[in-house]
Structure 1
Amino acid sequence: MLKMKTPKTGKARRELDKRAPKLVETGKKTLILHGTKTSGVLNNVLTQIYQLKKESAVRFSRKNEDVRPFESGGEASLEFFSLKTDCSMFVFGSHSKKRPDNLVIGRTYDHHIYDLVEVGVENFKPLESFSYDKKLAPKAGSKPFIAFIGEGFDSVEELKHLKEVLLDLLRGEVVENLNLAGVDRAYICTAVSPNRVFFTHCALRLKRSGTIVPRMELVEVGPSMDFVVRRHRLPNERLRKEAMKTAKDKAKKKEKNVSKDVIEGKIGKVYIPDQKVGEMALPNKAKGVKRERREAKLRHGEGNKHASKRQKEDSQ
């Protein structure tokens, strides 16, 4: 029998409540970690991805020898780190002669590996290499636009999968309403070839257009790089169906005495009980009530007089 540990403090209980499944999930956290060997370019790439997602990311600075995606037995440590940090996405960087400057972006379901995409990084340009007005720099935690340009994202299987993963990685928390003034950045992904994607990060500058909708200009602020798709692994069908399940909407409570009409719309019936006018309590200051009381007193007084006369006659 496995021993079940229950939280003993309020802080532990609140932390478990945050990690519990919800009907409407919050934004996904991203785990960023290194492999056994990395390069200077790859370290810079991981650092700048962490800066772009600083509010919703956890970064491990040490090397991890046991983490080997796409290999049997090499994913156990990755799943353990995902459970420990409560991260449902990860970016793993490694460097080797066969696969230089290698990035593995993956998602987890119930803290088990869901799918994986492996890309190589080429033509990397860091943030520092771009010159622009620092007032235009995007603010941390702002909502981005994400644009995917090219037919490959709809026709090539590898690029379609990469599009799904990048959307989850970059979009943050899903919201229904958005203030245009708070949107100050855009991620542009362009499919250059069936296995190469150009990625760049731009700031949005709003200018007057003479209408309600402002004119937008893009200012490249970095980083920018080329993603070369190497390997990818889709989730199996059973796991996909389980992960795509959504909570059923609660059945609406039936409204009584309500019907709908095409012309009149919603029609309701209102039932009013019978008005018992005779039993209604009238105010004491009503003139009619006072008159009735005076007449009742007079009648009552006359009845007492007649009764007293009869008693006297009987006594005589």
Structure 2
Amino acid sequence: MSQIKTPQKGRVRRVIQKRAPKLVENGKKTLILHGTRTSDVLNAVLSEIYHLKKDDSVKYSRRNDNIRPFESGGETSLEYFSLKTDCSLFVFGSHTKKRPNNLVMGRTYDHHIYDLVELGVENFKSMKSFSYDRKLAPQIGSKPFIAFIGEGFESVEELKHLKEVLLDLFRGEVVSNLNIAGLDRVYVCMALSSNKVFFTHCALRLKKSGTVVPRMELVEVGPSMDLLVRRHRLPDESLRKETMKKAPELIQKKVKNVSQDAIQGKVGRIYIPDQQVGEKTLPNKAKGVKRERREAKMKVEAKRQKQDSTIPSDP
């Protein structure tokens, strides 16, 4: 039997503890890979995605001949790189005659393929092709807005799946509070048809509006492209349920008669039972009770004396 050896060095121990499961997981990292053959357009797309996610992404520039995510056995190398870099998201680019400028986005669960979306890149415009004031350039690592425009993101299965993947890819780390001054970018996704989406990246310009909330203007800074949905693979229902499980420590127990209101905040209900005053037992006897007893005793004695006086005596 093989023995499990515990790490002796502190650095290795810290790395293993960092990758261990946590109640609140860290932000997801993205792995960017090249296929056997890539075009100039696809190389630019992968480079600019890496630039947009520079803080939480890993990019490999070497060609990978044996990565085919949609084929059985072709995901082994991809899962190995995911485990090696501790990445939960991946973007894989390849270029063939049948599928030119092919971009595969997906997620992993426990470093195994969870779901996949295959996209074709058309009408690509890089960041360098846009002219704007460089003071408006978004800061690296800032929290973005993500706008999905079109009914297709709610009705078409392929676009609903693409929406989930894009949200995980570009939203960054999940936070509870935001400062408006730190919001300087927005990703716009517009559904052009049932299988085509326009994607662009814009900077936010804040202007005075006469109120507390400033007026926002969008300035396109790139990249911009059309994404054509080719193939997608959803996870199994059992696997989806397993990934949605929450630790018992994170599940908040419902408090009785307490609800949350958007305007009033925390609202509670108080139930007061009917008060049975007559059946209530007093801790101390009232003084008037003794007086009533004395008066009743005196009445009984007076009645008895009266009865004795009316009885005639023997001759």
What is the TM-score of this pair, normalised by structure 2? Answer: 0.79
Partner AA of 2:247 in structure 1: A
Deviating beyond 3 angstroms after TM superposition, the runs of 4 or more aligned structure 1 residues are: 249-253
Paired position in structure 1 for 2:48: 48
- How far residue 4 of structure 1 moved from its aligned partner, in angstroms, is 2.7
Superposed displacement of residue 250, structure 1: 6.6
Displacement, 1:247? 1.0
CA distance in 2, matches of 1:250, 1:29: 23
Alignment of 1:40-79 (within 5 A): 40-79=40-79
Residue 249 of structure 1 deviates from its aligned partner by: 3.5
Q: Secondary structure at the match of 1:83?
A: helix
Which one-letter code corresponds to 1:174 in the other structure?
V
**Contact 2:37–2:95 (CA<8 Å) still a contact in 1?**
yes
Instruction: Report the equivalent of 2:136.
Output: 136
Number of residue equivalences: 258
Letter aligned with residue 111 of structure 1: H
Give the aligned CA root-mean-square deviation in angstroms.
1.7
Change over 3 Å in CA distance of 1:58–1:94 after alignment to 2: same
The 1:216/1:8 distance shift into structure 2, 3 A limit, reads: same
Q: Which residue of 1 aligns with 2:262?
A: none
Superimposed CA distance per residue, residues 101-151 of structure 1 (whole angstroms, 9 cap, x where no aligned partner): 000000000000000000000000000000000000000000000000000
Task: Provide the residue aligned with 1:237 in structure 2.
Answer: 237
Which string of whole-angstrom CA distances, capped at 9 and with x for unpartnered residues, describes residues 250-293 of structure 1?
7999xxxxxx97289xxxxxxxxxxxxxxxxxxxxxxxxxxxxx
Partner of 2:26: 26
Distance in 1 (CA, whole Å) between partners of 2:60 and 2:14 is 24
**Alignment partner of 1:179 is 2:187:** no
Over 3 Å counting, the alpha-carbon distance change for 1:2 and 1:119 in structure 2 is farther
- Counterparts of 1:200 and 1:100 in 2: how far apart (Å)? 20
Secondary structure at the residue paired with 1:31? strand
- Structure 1: which 5+ residue stretches go unaligned? 254-259, 265-316
TM-aligned CA distance change 1:43 to 1:5, over 3 Å:
farther
- Which residue matches 2:263? none
**Number of the residue aligned with 1:89:** 89
Counterpart of 1:127 in structure 2 is 127
Deviations 1:2-37 (A, max 9, x none): 443422211111111111111111210000000000
Percent identity, aligned pairs only? 74
1:262 aligned partner: 270
Letter in 2 for 1:130: F
- CA change 1:95–1:208 in 2 (3 A) is same
Q: Deviations over 1:166-208 (max 9, x none)?
A: 0000000000100010010000000000000000000000000
Cα offset, 1:86, TM superposition: 0.1
1:216 lines up with 2:208 in the alignment? no
1:163-174 equivalence runs, <5 A: 163-174=163-174
Normalising by structure 1, what TM-score? 0.79
Structure 2 counterpart SS, 1:55: coil
Match of 1:108 in 2: 108
